[in-house]
């Protein structure tokens, strides 16, 4: 019904020459939840900066009732107006809206142009709304606007007084625009993403679904030093993404043989330790080696009786006659019986023992070295 009335008004003003549709721009139909607020932007043409702007309500402009003016604002808790002569946009803000306020309103410039819109206040959820009408972005980066809707129809993203993006991707004043419609938590949402922002992208926009529009203001600020560094790091991250993927692939290729080598080394060490442990265990289980090399057989043992003598050497066997020692050496096998002669004739061996200290032939000190010459003798 509201759309039909708007069309009739447009035709009427065009035929009568009273229309200023192409001179003042604004949205045509907005929906607001009961108790909610909304700001309506009105863009006027160059040359009207010094003229008074006002906001009025009514079906026809010549009979509309002025609500507020820029030159004489009355105190109001729910209505305010402001004019930005630099951007040539004056805005009207309405708060705590009630259903009785629903109807036609006019953006007008005194002694100039005007345009109209329809405002509907819903008792439930609004047909089209945004979480916030003012969004801030940074030059070179991006902003996202979520337009929640419950009605049906085509969708688009437009700049106030400018062009629109109606397809999935597009461009507005040098900024890339992407539109995506998705269901979220039982709601239908149109997500608008503007990237590669520029300072000139600051201004009023509106999203549209079907016959409803919702104005949104985007402010683009210059980046701070921290933001510049962040953006640079992000760009470097995007640029190095393929490099990182290549490095990861190379690491995977290297890790496979290294892992196999590690397994082989670990297996070798375990085997080596097990062999050492087994060898030690086997050595501990054997009795200690207490075997003693056999000594000379008893038949090879020879006994010697040594006594000091003085006098001349006997039988010419003694090289010197003073301080000599004589020794009888008897093999063991000849002493097996007590009744036998301990010194048989054929078993006597003479030994000449000579002390090292020749200066004292008759005294032997404990540390003196004694030399013995043993020779068998046959009688």
Task: Dump the DSSP string for 255-302.
Answer: HHHHHHHHHHHHHHHHHHHHHHHHHHHHHHHSPP---------GGG-E
Do residues 29 and 2 lie in contact, with contact meaning Cβ atoms separated by under 8 Å? yes
pLDDT in tens, 318-359: 444 444 545 554 554 544 444 455 545 455 555 555 555 444
pLDDT band at residue 372 under the 50/70/90 scheme? low
pLDDT in tens, 256-276: 888 888 888 988 888 888 888
Overall pTM surpassing 0.85 (yes/no): no
Residue 258, sorted as left (phi over 0), alpha (psi -120 to 50) or beta, turns out to be: alpha
Which of 134, 135, 98, 133 minimizes the C-alpha distance to 119?
98
First and final C-alpha spacing in the chain? 165
DSSP letter for 70, please: S
């Amino acid at each position: 019904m509201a759309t039909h009335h708007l069309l009739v008004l447009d035709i009427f003003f065009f035929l009568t020459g009273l229309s200023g549709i192409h001179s003042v721009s604004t949205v045509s139909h907005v929906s607001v939840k009961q108790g909610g607020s909304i700001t309506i932007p009105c863009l006027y043409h160059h040359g009207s900066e010094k003229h008074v702007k006002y906001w009025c309500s009514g079906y026809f402009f010549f009979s509309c009732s002025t609500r507020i003016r820029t030159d004489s604002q009355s105190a109001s808790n729910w209505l305010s107006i402001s004019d930005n002569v630099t951007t040539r946009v004056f805005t009207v803000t309405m708060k705590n809206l009630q259903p009785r306020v629903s109807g036609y309103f006019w953006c007008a410039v005194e002694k100039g142009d005007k345009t109209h819109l329809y405002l509907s206040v819903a008792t439930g959820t609004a047909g089209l709304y945004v979480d916030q009408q003012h969004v801030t972005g940074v030059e070179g980066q991006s902003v996202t606007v979520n337009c929640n809707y419950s009605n049906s129809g085509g969708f688009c993203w437009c700049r106030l007084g400018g062009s629109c993006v109606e397809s999935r991707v597009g461009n507005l004043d040098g900024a890339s625009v992407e539109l995506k419609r998705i269901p979220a938590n039982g709601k239908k949402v149109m997500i608008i993403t503007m990237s590669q922002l520029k300072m000139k992208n600051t201004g009023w926009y509106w999203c549209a679904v079907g016959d409803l529009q919702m104005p949104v203001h985007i402010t683009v600020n210059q980046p701070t030093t921290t933001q510049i560094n962040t953006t640079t790091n992000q760009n470097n991250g995007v640029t190095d993404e393929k490099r990182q993927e290549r490095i990861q692939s190379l690491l995977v290729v290297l890790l496979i043989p290294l892992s196999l080598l590690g397994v082989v080394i670990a297996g070798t060490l375990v085997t080596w330790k097990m062999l050492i442990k087994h060898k030690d265990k086997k050595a501990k289980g054997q009795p200690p080696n207490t075997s003693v090399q056999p000594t000379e057989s008893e038949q090879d043992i020879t006994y010697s009786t040594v006594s000091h003598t003085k006098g001349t050497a006997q039988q010419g066997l003694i090289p010197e006659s003073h301080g000599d020692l004589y020794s009888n050496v008897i093999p063991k096998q000849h002493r097996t019986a007590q009744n036998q002669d301990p010194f048989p004739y054929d078993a006597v061996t003479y030994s000449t023992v000579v002390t090292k200290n020749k200066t004292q032939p008759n005294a032997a000190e404990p540390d003196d070295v004694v030399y013995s010459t043993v020779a068998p003798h046959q009688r």
